[in-house]
Chains A and B, each alone.
Chain A
């Protein structure tokens, strides 16, 4: 057995009580049917309580998903408190209402509100990340996320603004910097994660997605060339008549579907990139999501949801979650026993609630 020295934190001290530890692929044991029941009852209770139950619903959902995600023989746990989440959501609702109304009062009020929200957003994102990580644990040890507020504002306000000003040429760089920050400030117990992907890898991924996207859009436009001819012959869309208008609607719909598909596939490519280049102490990760499988899952899920008027939704979510989670493999450099906990302050939940309201997804 190894010996652990408390004063050696934050580096991991590795046990070597087992030789030849093999790679562990994450396993997801969540079931669509069970998640469906959770989803339906959550929906009813949320509506019946005018949204108040939504915080408890979220905790139930998170605990189910975390508890169904296994690494080795153990699963993850979620500790978020429903009252904390509820408080956060109420704050978010007030902001949402104030923003909506401000534009109608005057343009000045609207712009002012926008500036205020933009100013708060980086802090909210950061606090939400901290809340989520602190309330996640594995084998009794909690995750956490640090960081300095100056860096947060640089990454989540300044860089995105610059990015917009440069016609999004800086977006891959911004994305890389954000992920680097998130991962390198995150810890499991006392052990920091490290991030080893540079901006170049992100630029490649974005460029590939852009190229594929443009090619696809071009092919779609080509397929509809006849419709465009009819439109210009008639002198406009309204003049061209009902049949052409239906074709145009189809054209727009197919473009949206293509965009949706591309977005999902791009997301999985980024997930691969991020996990392949993330380490925890000496341990590594591998992620092998495939574009073809992702495309298949996306399309069949969408079809299922539409055909069942939404009832298939929880099944679709579980299906996609399973694929995304089980694509990750943990490559240990030694025993998993050697992580130690650090004392950690409680992170406020205003961040997490607000984030839910505004529907960002900060999954790593």
Chain B
């Protein structure tokens, strides 16, 4: 049987009307030009409703098939079948299955794959390299809201002594130090990858007992022990790359927004993990686990009076609402 097509020789844009036949293992063209090509050297495009079906030949020439139905029958007659992959693209049922599988896979990767990979990669990074991360942060804060601590030297020494006497679940080989600052931004404590835990005077003043203070410091130690900052960096990089890959051809916003939201989610998970670490430290040192809960209560109260209103909704915040964290802790 014969199928009509347009032939282009790849040297000029001149169009030739031809008919093509399959003769043995060759494609034979007759009409305005005569050609013969072995079928296996021809690159055949797959059947499509919308796109033109074409054959590309090694000499740069190509064919645009005019009679698609006829061409399909000719191929079938010659025993040629579309590859399995192509048949998946063409089947609605396979596509529906693919959609379900894609969603499930994406969810699994996000929930398990990326966090686990981030944690693994974080462990693989040498400590010296990690310490360089965030080195500038303290300097930046010192030139901003931070000023030298106004806590008496004796009090500082007492806190440090108490801190050093803590037994830690991961052993005492973490080179962590406490640094005190006076902060315009209120009570706060955070950990830097180089092993510094920054504690503000306002935090010390705002808490009732040293047990509560140790609970908060233990939470920050949790971040250091599990290398959360580094993990977060890896997590955002992986997620950002994946989002751009998947959605980049659609829009930059579509690629970036999920990355931000997922990063916030990952941060919140890390905060909860740090809370768990703090509880372990408290138990290990014979302190009441309630110390963490009451510290969080107090911080919550301080935050409420400061803002005079509810804070930002949970999913927009890096810290899960204090209320949520408190509710999660074991009752005392």
Interface residues of A (CB under 8 A from B): 4, 29-31, 34-38, 40-41, 43-44, 46-48, 51, 54, 58, 60-61, 63-68, 70, 73-75, 77, 89, 93, 96-97, 100-101, 104-107, 138-141, 189, 238-239, 241-242, 313, 317, 336-341, 356-359
Contacts and interface: CB of A to CB of B under 8 A. Distances in A.
B74 to A, nearest CB: 20
B301 interface: no
Interface in B230-270: 233, 236-237, 240-242, 244-246, 248-252, 255
A337 B13 contact: yes
Interface in B34-89: 45, 48-52, 54, 56, 60-62, 64, 88-89
B209 interface: no
Given A43-B99, A66-B51, A336-B15, 9 more contacts: A30-B50, A54-B245, A100-B236, A100-B237, A138-B13, A189-B13, A341-B12, A358-B244, A359-B251
A313 B310 CA distance: 37
Interface string B3-29: 000101111111100000000000000
Given A47-B105, A337-B14, A238 B245 contact: no
7 contacts: A29-B50, A30-B50, A47-B105, A104-B133, A139-B13, A239-B309, A359-B252
A139 B15 contact: yes
B307 interface: yes
Interface residues of B, number: 60
Interface string B120-146: 000000000100111110000000000
Contacts of A34: 48-50
A58 B90 CA distance: 17
A97 B237 contact: yes
A339 B62 CA distance: 16
Nearest to B132: A105
B13 A141 contact: yes
A140 B49 contact: no
Among all A-B residue pairs, the 7 with the closest Cβ atoms: A67-B51, A140-B8, A44-B102, A339-B13, A139-B13, A359-B248, A75-B52
B95 interface: yes
B110 to A, nearest CB: 10
A105 B307 CA distance: 34
Given A139-B8, A140-B61, A239-B309, A337 B15 contact: yes
Q: Classify the secondary structure of A's interface with B.
A: helix
A357 B244 contact: yes
A101 B45 contact: no
A77 B307 CA distance: 61
A106 B132 contact: yes
Contacts of B52: 67-68, 70, 74-75
B108 to A, nearest CB: 9
B249 A140 contact: no
Given A67-B48, A138-B13, A337-B12, A46 B246 contact: yes
A97 B248 CA distance: 16
A338 B51 contact: no
A86 B64 CA distance: 28
B95 A41 contact: yes
B64 A75 contact: yes
B294 to A, nearest CB: 26
B64 A356 contact: no
A276 to B, nearest CB: 23
B112 interface: no
B324 interface: no
A44 B237 contact: no
B231 to A, nearest CB: 12
A359 B244 CA distance: 7
Nearest to B92: A37
B82 to A, nearest CB: 13
A21 B190 CA distance: 74
B252 A47 contact: no
Contacts of A107: 136
Contacts of B14: 139, 337-338
Given A34-B49, A67-B52, A74 B105 contact: no
A4 B12 CA distance: 10
A44 B45 CA distance: 22
Contacts of A75: 51-52, 64
Contacts of A4: 12
Contacts of A48: 101, 105
Q: Which of A60, A100, A140 has the most CB of B within 10 A?
A: A140
A101 B8 CA distance: 50
B241 A97 contact: yes
A106 B193 CA distance: 13
B6 A317 contact: no
A337 B15 CA distance: 7
B10 A341 contact: yes
B109 interface: yes
Contacts of A35: 50
A20 B166 CA distance: 93
A96 B237 contact: yes
Contact of B99 (A40, A46, A51, A101): A40
Contact of A63 (B51, B64, B136, B245): B51
